[in-house]
Amino acid sequence: MNATPIVTVKDLTRDYQQGTITVRALRGVDLDIATGEFTALMGPSGSGKTTLLNMIGGLDEPTSGTVIIDGQDLNSLDRGQRSDLRLHRIGFVFQSYNLIPVLSAVENAEFVLMLRGLPAAERRARAVETLAAVGLAGMENRRPSELSGGQQQRVAVARAIASKPALVLADEPTANLDSKSGHELIATMAKLNEELGLTFVFATHDPKVMNAARRVVWMEDGKVQRDERK
Amino acid sequence: MLIFIKLATRNLLRNKRRTAITMTGISLGLALMVFSNNVAFGSHQSMLRTAIGMMAGHVVVQAEGYQHKPDSKLKILDSGAMADAIRAAIPNATVTRRIYMDGLLISPVASTAAVVKAIEPSRERKVIDLDDKIVKGKWLADDDDRGIMLGQDLATRLDVGLGDKVVFMGQPDGTEVESRLFRLRGIFRTGSPEIDGFTALAPLSAAQELFQGDDPATQIAINLPDDKQTAARTKQVRALVQAVAPNSKLEVLPWQQAIPDVVEFVKLDSAYGDGIWLVLGIIVSMGVINTVLMSVMERVREFGVMMALGLKPRKLAAMVLTEGFMMGAISALIGIILGTLITWPFMSMGIDLSGDMGESMEAAGVPLSMILYPEIDWGRLAIYPFIGIFFAVVASLYPAWKVTRLSPVQAIRHQ
């Protein structure tokens, strides 16, 4: 495994204003994630897992502190540059699948490749291949409404990895799945991590993810409490 | 770009009923706009044709200054030779001479001010479109230099009937008072109070006797088979007049300059119509804004996901605008086809307003028929798609702008 950090988080804080009350979602988080790691951010609701994941993905801006992705300090990037960074370096998997309902499975899987401007034939081939890798061969032309929750989340994973990003961020990917589908999805992602060397970071409550992860970062009250490596 | 078109198409089909209602609104608005513009265009064209035939020609030759200050002393001499030269140069044109004289018409029982328009009867008949407006008697004969026709109100004021004597008295040349006896051959009714109450038609030869100089005329009117020839023929006639009568002070004007009041009226009327349609366009746009905004608000989460995946806000806005563009383009096409189809039968059948508004009316001194015949305004038809697209895209601007303000995190959390 390459030990170069793909994610470096330094003294990260994030405050939210709720009326007159300031809510501190992150209180000085320091974290390095190396390329190829399979990391789970664990902790109770409100512990700051999702906030940290959003900061790492450049979806939200910190109140203070730094996030460096693949050598690029996100504070130095404007909105458009952060979009470009996500497009070329980061894949996302969300809790509730969040597929584009008017696109078929294969069109969803190739969406990021389309945004990247890959030729149609190449992106279609890659999307079909990725769908097969997540166990959805033969379901390419189904719309999200014609797929089960587990299948939709697999399409979401395919969409996240089809562009071969440096980093895949997954927020509660198994939360809406039944136990069997959850196991299968984790197994699929673990396989992709091993075979392709993709870096995965999960925000999760799910013990199945924790068991599969090789590193578990425990969070509580916006801080890292424990960092366990297996 | 293809992905935006694909997404826009599918998003429009996502809520078919809403899209159909919005597009129906745009299409019907545009169809109504096309139809009413065709009606207005048809009546404007008819008005211009009438005015060109009755009050000028496509091209007119007059003494210099006559257009600015009509005065019977300003005349063309040797007008017959000039008219013949023009006929030889433009064989398919109807070239006719006129003299306009102000004076008194006197009957045995009354007298009244009038304008006598002296004409070449058989030639004038081809351009003036008065045959169906003769309510008594008949059109003047070329060899009848005592004949006169009067507007119906004028004849009533003079209390004369067919065959009665009418005397014209005036100072056509601005010197001696001259008079001439005519006999009433016909009475016409155009619906224009100005024409019916104050206009008489008499033979040119009779009027010429009241003027000094050789073969005088106030105006030579050249009526062309096609209005599109006007500019070129005006140029040609100018050169011809210069060649035939190099020392005479004559002006050659296209109809646009010869009947400026009518042209101005048509422009103002068109502008008024456009103003009304602009207001309607804005109202329809409000509906489109509402629809697009609803459709955008329903997809906030989707937009958040797209931004998270790396789609830039301005591209998201482009996607929303593409939806507006497509809705506008398709609606415009349907609206134009529908508007043209509605127009079609009325082009030959006409829209008869005579029951409610009388048999005729007048605008800018031109008698108008109350049966309106729409004509397809091809020039306008070509710009309607852009109007439809313009309003739909403008209506999508606000929703598109709202999309660019979305924060990905908040958008993904949006329920």
Q: Output the 3-class SS for chain B.
A: CHHHHHHHHHHHHHCHHHHHHHHHHHHHHHHHHHHHHHHHHHHHHHHHHHHHHHHCCCEEEEECCCCCCCCCCCCECCHHHHHHHHHHHCCCCEEEEEEEEEEEEECCCCEEEEEEEEECHHHHHHHHCCHHHEEEECCCCCCCCCEEEEEHHHHHHHCCCCCCEEEEEECCCCCCCEEEEEEEEEEECCCCHHHHHHEEEEEHHHHHCCCCCCCCECEEEEECCCHHHHHHHHHHHHHHHHHHCCCCCEEEEEHHHHCHHHHHHHHHHHHHHHHHHHHHHHHHHHHHHHHHHHHHHHCHHHHHHHHHCCCCHHHHHHHHHHHHHHHHHHHHHHHHHHHHHHHHHHHHHCEECHHHHCCEEEECCEEEECEECCCCCHHHHHHHHHHHHHHHHHHHHHHHHHHHCCCHHHHHHCC
Inter-chain contact A57–B10, Cβ cutoff 8 Å? no
Per-residue pLDDT of chain B (415 residues; tens, 9 = 90+): 677 788 888 888 888 998 898 889 889 988 998 999 999 999 999 889 988 988 889 999 999 998 888 887 888 999 999 999 999 999 999 999 999 999 999 999 999 999 999 999 999 999 888 888 899 999 999 889 899 999 999 999 999 999 999 999 988 777 788 889 999 999 999 888 888 999 999 999 999 988 877 899 999 999 999 999 999 999 999 999 999 888 888 999 999 999 999 999 999 999 998 898 888 888 878 877 888 788 888 888 888 899 999 998 888 898 889 988 898 899 999 999 999 999 999 999 888 887 766 666 777 777 777 788 999 988 888 888 888 888 888 888 888 888 888 888 888 877 6
Residue B359: predicted pLDDT: 64
Question: Mutation test of the interface with chain A: which of B13, B305, B403, choosing the one with the most A Cβ atoms within 10 A?
Answer: B305
Residue B113: predicted pLDDT: 94
Q: How far is B332 from chain A (nearest CA, A)?
A: 25
Q: How far is B388 from chain A (nearest CA, A)?
A: 26
Residue A1: predicted pLDDT: 46
CA–CA distances in Å: residue A71 to residues A7, A59, B315: 8, 17, 27
Instruction: Determine phi and psi for B388, rounding to 5 degrees.
Output: -60, -45
Residue A3: predicted pLDDT: 60
How many other C-beta atoms lie within 10 A of the C-beta of residue A84? 16
- Does residue B278 sit in the same domain as residue B201? no
- Does residue B246 sit in the same domain as residue B111? yes
Tokens of A58: 């450049």
Ranges of residues in chain A with a pLDDT under 50 are 1-2
Q: Which of B301, B309, B314 sits opposite A115 (nearest CB)?
A: B309
**CA nearest to A92 within chain B:** B309
Inter-chain contact B310–A86, Cβ cutoff 8 Å? yes
Q: Which of A88, A102, A159 sits opposite B10 (nearest CB)?
A: A102
- Does residue B212 sit in the same domain as residue B146? yes
A49 Cβ contact partners less than 8 Å away, ≥ 6 residues apart: A41, A42, A43, A171, A203, A204, A219
- Does residue B215 sit in the same domain as residue B356? no
Classify the complex by whether its ipTM is higher than 0.85, answering yes or no: yes
Cβ of residue B10 closer than 8 Å to a chain A Cβ: yes
Residues of A in contact with B301 (CB under 8 A): 98
Residue B1: predicted pLDDT: 67
Cβ of residue B273 closer than 8 Å to a chain A Cβ: no
A113-148 tens-digit pLDDT: 999 999 999 999 999 999 998 888 999 999 999 999
At B342, the amino acid letter reads I
Inter-chain contact B301–A98, Cβ cutoff 8 Å? yes
Q: Are B181 and B167 in contact (CB under 8 A)?
A: yes
Q: Are A190 and A15 in contact (CB under 8 A)?
A: no
Residues of A in contact with B311 (CB under 8 A): 83, 87, 115
Q: Shortest CA distance to B99 belongs to which of B237, B250, B216, B241?
A: B216
- Does residue B80 sit in the same domain as residue B40? no
**pTM value?**
0.74
Inter-chain contact A83–B14, Cβ cutoff 8 Å? no
Q: Shortest CA distance to B151 belongs to which of B118, B192, B121?
A: B192
Q: Is A195 exposed, middle or buried (0-12, 13-18, 19+ CB in 10 A)?
A: exposed
Cβ of residue B333 closer than 8 Å to a chain A Cβ: no
Q: How far is A121 from chain B (nearest CA, A)?
A: 14
Residues of B in contact with A116 (CB under 8 A): 310
- Does residue B147 sit in the same domain as residue B11? no
Inter-chain contact A57–B308, Cβ cutoff 8 Å? yes
Buried-state track B197-206, b at ≥16 Cβ within 10 A, e below 16: bbbbbbbbeb
- Does residue B81 sit in the same domain as residue B225? yes
Inter-chain contact A101–B313, Cβ cutoff 8 Å? no
Instruction: Provide the domain count of chain B.
Output: 2
CA–CA distances in Å: residue A149 to residues A155, A179, B197: 10, 12, 87
Inter-chain contact B309–A87, Cβ cutoff 8 Å? yes
Q: Which of A54, A100, A115 sits opposite B409 (nearest CB)?
A: A54
Q: Are B136 and B91 in contact (CB under 8 A)?
A: no
Q: Are A56 and A169 in contact (CB under 8 A)?
A: yes
- The domain boundary, picked from B236, B257, B278, lies at B257
Q: Shortest CA distance to B29 belongs to which of B275, B290, B271, B278?
A: B278
Inter-chain contact A86–B302, Cβ cutoff 8 Å? no
Inter-chain contact B309–A60, Cβ cutoff 8 Å? no
| SS3 of residue A67 by DSSP | strand
- Does residue B375 sit in the same domain as residue B251? no
- Does residue B332 sit in the same domain as residue B292? yes
Q: Shortest CA distance to B408 belongs to which of B312, B295, B296?
A: B312
Please give the residue range of the domain that contains residue B332. 2-51+262-413
- Does residue B175 sit in the same domain as residue B77? yes
- The domain boundary, picked from B212, B240, B257, lies at B257
- The domain boundary, picked from B257, B286, B313, lies at B257
CA–CA distances in Å: residue B386 to residues B21, B130, B260, B382, B397: 21, 41, 31, 8, 16
Residues of A in contact with B6 (CB under 8 A): 107
Query: How many Cβ pairs closer than 8 A exist between chain A and B?
Result: 66
Q: Are A89 and A69 in contact (CB under 8 A)?
A: yes
- Does residue B108 sit in the same domain as residue B36? no
- Does residue B293 sit in the same domain as residue B204? no
Q: Please report which helix (H) or strand (E) contains residue A65, including its range.
A: strand A64-69
Q: Which of B10, B309, B313 sits opposite A86 (nearest CB)?
A: B309
Residue B415: predicted pLDDT: 66
